[in-house]
Chains A and B, each alone.
Chain A
């Protein structure tokens, strides 16, 4: 009978000493939502140190400056405006607040700079008889240079698509890959595309993630290598990648990878950046917040959050525009013709 009592007592202990794992905070008031947003960013955002260094943003100071703007009589729209204003201090295109009625963003990375791209004129180079391989539009220009327009990495660009395209352009002397305006997509697709331009495994950068709630809690950076494409064709001739300020996120990473590949020259304007991998969270009222969570550095352990410098800087010429010419494409053709 003692054994039974012991067992019952043991079961009782199990019940008593099992603690509950609960949510930390939930307060769906105006101030509760404000505090939740500040706290989510405080515990998860990965660029506080860098933004303090580059922009002078002190997140504690931000809390103090915006807290007094919050009151319970605010409308949803007013609260949204204040919260977006607070997030804009970070000048990060990956930091967004989404509500059913609006999408808060800071797109100054390209809105404050010349576009250096004219869609109508660029389309003249593609003409009407261009081919499309899973979102990659390509054509052979009259001087036997292949022109590839890559508008996004959101589509599933695979080895098969890239190889088919490179095979079709195999007789070209060189390649222009135009990623202007490419706002990103899937990082793996961008790297898969870049893997067709190297024959060797190359170091392209480092990655580090947060390991805790503290602003300086990061894992030690680990190397990110670009492996050569194991399936399909690897391009061996000169390549120019055209960039502008609207090249962002996964497209920025593509440029970072291509910059390390042999025979590749980056021409155009500085990229827009966006080197943090974004995660999502939410506020008590259901608004969704997106933030940079994982830091990607270049091969020299430098941030590319605010963009990558081209090898050759270009500006769109007004005179070229008048003649319906794209300065970027013309300069790339000129450069590639000389390097042949």
Chain B
């Protein structure tokens, strides 16, 4: 089977190398499922545990910045979790969407976008900063006032990514790892006992937009994937762990998710 795949892979390599690095764009789409552990003390003092569903869409390309050593990553991450309390008698739903744009310096003259064909080293590393925005909600399925909690932030993130080109039986299997963490920004939170009636009906705000930094928003996102080439496409599978946490206005929040993800990625070429 591997010998059958080889000609197509060679043809792909010949095509790509005639294209300038900044014209090459890596697109990746993945879906995932895993576990979720959600705590939002505005709604309940206890952890809610259940299943997490995730969709991720990523675009990466090299730019002309810093003599072509800077790559750009555009990332959309959507998740939805259905959870229950310890007693298993109350449901809670949590979900949101994060959009981020990041710029990474590629060390050692590497190319993190297509390291298999464009880097001399099998190990590549890039680090950079990005901006991201998040909109989400946590809804608890019990009657009463304030059954939901809105989540929103605008952050500057630090991120490090690394790749390792593993060759087995003349095939390239690419490991990718990325860790990101918010550095600073602005986040929304109601005050400790503030009702949404006050915030939105009466438009009375009380420390609802806060300066966020790792001290009050210690969050991290990890992603480890393996790219497996299959003809002109590449199967991508891996593990995504997200630890979104905050402590604003004496309210605690965490959303810890662990997902197995699978999808495809493909290189396309811009004019």
Contacts and interface: CB of A to CB of B under 8 A. Distances in A.
Interface of A: 3-4, 7, 10-11, 14-15, 17-26, 28, 36, 40, 44, 46, 100, 187-188, 207, 209-213, 217, 219, 222, 224, 277-282, 284-286, 288, 290, 293-294
Given A18-B220, A217-B192, A280-B142, A209 B86 contact: no
B47 interface: yes
Given A7-B127, A23-B45, A36-B45, A293 B195 contact: yes
Contacts of B197: 187-188, 277, 294
B202 A26 contact: no
B247 interface: yes
Contacts of A20: 243, 245, 254
Given A21-B245, A209-B192, A217-B192, 6 more contacts: A11-B179, A24-B41, A26-B86, A282-B45, A286-B87, A294-B194
Q: How large is the interface on B (under 10, 10 to 19, 20 to 34, 35 or more residues)?
A: 35 or more
B218 A7 contact: no
A19 B218 contact: yes
B234 to A, nearest CB: 26
A278 B144 contact: yes
Interface string B179-222: 10100000000011111011001101010000000100011100
B214 A209 contact: no
B218 A18 contact: yes
B46 interface: yes
A279 B41 CA distance: 12
B125 interface: yes
Contacts of A210: 191-193
B149 to A, nearest CB: 12
A36 B44 CA distance: 12
A25 to B, nearest CB: 7
A21 B254 contact: yes
A219 B195 contact: no
Contacts of A11: 160, 179
B250 A212 contact: yes
Contacts of A36: 45
A141 B220 CA distance: 68
B33 to A, nearest CB: 24
A286 B88 contact: yes
A23 B47 contact: yes
Contacts of A280: 142-147
B39 A22 contact: yes
A20 B247 CA distance: 10
Interface in B154-183: 158, 160, 179, 181
Given A10-B160, A18-B181, A219-B194, A282 B202 contact: no
Contacts of B243: 18, 20
A294 B179 CA distance: 41
24 contacts: A4-B108, A7-B127, A10-B127, A11-B179, A15-B220, A17-B218, A18-B214, A19-B218, A21-B252, A22-B254, A23-B45, A26-B86, A100-B89, A207-B198, A207-B204, A212-B250, A222-B198, A277-B195, A279-B145, A280-B143, A280-B144, A282-B46, A286-B85, A290-B144
